Amino acid sequence: MTNNKSRSQVFFNEDGVSGLVHRAFTRAMGYDDDDLKRPLIGICNTYSELNNCNSNLRDICEAVKRGVLQAGGFPLEFPTISLGEIYLSPTSMLYRNLAAMDTEEMIRGNPLDGVVLLTNCDKTTPAALMGAASADIPTIMVSGGPMLNGHFQGEILGACTDCRRYTTEYQAGTIDEATYKAVEENLVRSAGHCMVMGTASTMNSLMEALGMALPGNGAIPAVDSRRLRLAEHAGRQIVKLVEQNIKPSDILTADAFDNAIRLLHALGGSTNAIVHLPAIAGRCGVDLPLSRFDELSRTTPILTNLKPVGQYQMEDLYYAGGIPAVLKQLLPLLHEDALTVTGQTLAENVANAEIINPDLIRTLDSPLQPEGGLSILTGNLAPDGAVIKHAAASSELLHHRGRAIVFNGMDDLRARINDPDLDVTKDDILVLQNVGPVGGPGMPEVGNLPIPRKLLKEGVRDMVRISDARMSGTSYGTIVLHVAPESAIGGNLALVQTGDKIELDVENRRIHLHVTDEELAQRRKKWQAPQPAFKRGYGQMYLRTVNQAPLGVDFDFLRGADPVEVTEQPKF
Ligand code: FES
């Protein structure tokens, strides 16, 4: 089954002591000659008790192993760093590239013929694919799936769109403590990732459009037995991919990224995809400028009625037909001949998909919104671009001119945002500096600045907010993110002062600071960079090498691929 040039066969059949040791130490785990002849499939498992969203990956892994064995492969599981949104500080994004390096180097360093990547929570999916794309051996992504819907007093709850909404109402005094506690009790019912169309839902769904996951990966609930059957299927399929030598570089083409961006817009997906997709593309040598997201946004309707843009959640999406039904509707806009890990084209994968709930999955003739929900803004405030999820914004604020109220970092924000004496009105624009890739550090999800409590009590629920941070894909509001260049490296965002006028014009994709170039030049002379957040270790390397948001916040030295050679072997 395996040709003699496979990495595993070279490893197990080396001459002399090396081959003896490789075989003998593998036998120590109970394997015999029959196992050693088979294609060696690594199962890269991001299970961790520090990552609740990935808590079902042990069961998923067992299912993948069954599939690998059924197809004649030899499965060996290995762990990599797991990035949980809930536990990691200061932000999981700080460690995404570290996880990508871990994945790449474990694929590179071990004699694997193929790999199945088990991921789920937000950063685990892009990190694993970034690493695998650079190593470039046959690969399939399998995610753990979304949580079941939360239920509370007849209402469907979604993490974490409704976490934020109920917190806002609690702070505004419209619900009492008992109700707030009851929401906490009823929100998260099962294993899995957040069940609204947040970042994890977005990235795990986009794996289908990229062609790197089997149909169904995006929406099958984490605890549905069909998720285990999908994993078992992936185990069988990775052995076929090895036989056919289909690698990420065969699949992750410019067309595949177009398909992923189209699906991103059709889903009303997370702004974080506009960081992760350029990072993955950068590993593949695919040029993916921010302008491509905007071009495709203008010509891709929103087809799914999903929170935070709409009303349903991932569990409902699966029952409604899942991602294959959405892709089938989108086919006229897609590169339908793109190759996928099934060995078939994207169009062939979704040929039998059907819409079961037409209120949730719309058609091109009757979309939820006629254009995509994400825009790329430019202007003197963001010469290299900024992002807004206008589908989740207040329509009356999409063209707005207001006075800037500036906070120079998170400490300043925390200290003053709820000060009763803060001079702020609902028409002002809240600006947060020093929360980008370098300044954050790690570009934390703090772009959805809280509305000042005194305005909350007046009934204000949205304002224009601008920063170089990201925001959770589960968030909503009129929020401008990913401003580049960021303030901590001297982008114009660093020069904004309270009282300046800023104009947001989403229709014309413009974000403008009404301050003259001469005045900005004067301010720049006095500007001082903030103290670096790290002086040693991984953090110091991060600060030295991290790219800005339009390049996906990858490290400069990690862009591109360095495919492992078939005969590359560790020496004993
Ligand atoms: Fe893991 Fe939301 S916290 S996906």
Judge if 330 and 212 occupy the same domain. Answer: yes
Instruction: Output the average pLDDT for the chain.
Output: 95
pLDDT in tens, 253-289: 999 999 999 999 999 999 999 999 999 999 999 999 9
290 CB-contact burial (10 Å; exposed 0-12 / middle 13-18 / buried 19+)? buried
Are 275 and 403 in a shared domain?
Answer: no
134 and 267 fall within a common domain:
yes
pLDDT of 114:
98
The reply to whether 312 falls in a domain is: yes
> Is any atom of ligand 1 closer than 6 Å to the C-beta of 147?
no
Residue 43 predicted with pLDDT over 70: yes
List, in order, residues 6 or more apart from 75 with CB less than 8 Å away.
Answer: 41, 42, 43, 64, 65, 68, 69, 235
102-135, pLDDT tens digit by residue?
999 999 999 999 999 999 999 999 999 999 999 9
- Is position 539 within any domain? no
365 in a structural domain: no
Q: Is the CB of 86 under 6 A from ligand 1?
A: yes
Residues 6 or more apart whose CB falls under 8 angstroms from that of 392 comprise 268, 308, 309, 373, 475, 476, 477
* Ligand 1 lined by 194 (C-beta under 6 Å): yes
State whether 32 and 60 are in the same domain: no
Ligand 1 proximity of 294 Cβ (cutoff 6 Å): no
Residues 170 and 226 in one domain: no
- Indicate which residue's Cα is closest to atom 2 of ligand 1: 194
Structural Rg of the chain based on CA atoms: 24
Question: Ligand 1 within 6 A of 445 CB?
Answer: no
Per-residue model confidence as pLDDT tens digits over 399-419: 999 999 999 999 999 999 999
Q: What pLDDT sits at residue 275? A: 98
Quick check: is 200 in a domain? yes
Note whether 180 and 200 are same-domain residues.
no
CATH number at residue 287: 3.40.50.2300
Q: By three-state DSSP, how is residue 389 classified?
A: strand
Q: Is the model's pLDDT at 569 over the cut of 60? A: no
Given pLDDT bands bounded at 50, 70 and 90, which one contains residue 570? low
pLDDT tens across 448-481, in order? 999 999 999 999 999 999 999 999 877 889 999 9
Q: What is the CATH number of the domain that holds 475?
A: 3.50.30.80
- Domain of 296? 38-148+190-349
Are 343 and 447 found together in one domain?
no
Question: What pLDDT band is residue 3 in, cutting at 50, 70 and 90?
Answer: very low
CA of 30 to the centre of ligand 1 (A): 37
Would you say residue 562 has pLDDT above 70?
A: yes
Instruction: Based on the fold, state whether residues 122 and 172 are members of the same structural domain.
Output: no
The residue nearest atom 1 of ligand 1, judged by CA position, is 121
The residue to mutate among 148, 193, 203, having the most atoms of ligand 1 within 8 angstroms of its beta carbon, is: 193
418, burial (CB in 10 Å: exposed 0-12, middle 13-18, buried 19+) = middle
Buried b (16+ CB within 10 A) or exposed e, 320-359: bbbbbbbbbbbbebbbbebbbbbeebbbebbeebebeeee
Q: What gap in Å lies between CA 385 and CA 380, rounded to an integer?
A: 10
Does residue 1 carry a pLDDT above 60? no
> Which of 160, 187, 214 represents a domain boundary (last residue)?
187
pLDDT at 567: 62
Among residues 314, 419, 415, the alpha carbon closest in space to that of 360 is found at 314
Q: Would the pLDDT of 432 be above 50? A: yes
Q: How many domains does the chain have?
A: 4
Residue 249 lies in a domain: yes
- Tell me the pairing of strands 429-432 and 464-467: parallel
Relative to the CA of 193, which ligand 1 atom is closest? 4
Examine residue 316 and state whether it is found in any structural domain, yes or no. yes
Residue at 559 is within a domain: no
N-to-C CA span, the chain: 26
Q: Is residue 512 in contact with ligand 1, taking CB distance under 6 Å? A: no
Considering the domain boundaries, does residue 253 fall inside one? Answer: yes
On whether both 307 and 204 belong to a single domain, the answer is yes
207 and 163 in one domain? no
Same domain (yes/no): 419, 511: yes
Rounded to an integer, the average pLDDT of 51-76 is 98
Q: Are residues 407 and 510 in the same domain?
A: yes
Render pLDDT for 309-368 as a digit per residue (tens, 0 to 9): 889 999 999 999 999 999 999 999 999 999 999 999 999 999 999 999 999 999 999 999
**Ligand 1 atom closest to the CA of 472, numbered from 1:** 2
pLDDT in the model for residue 160: 82
Cβ-Cβ contacts under 8 Å for 232 (sequence gap 6 or more) = 63, 64, 66, 67, 70
Which run of H or E residues covers position 263? helix 254-267
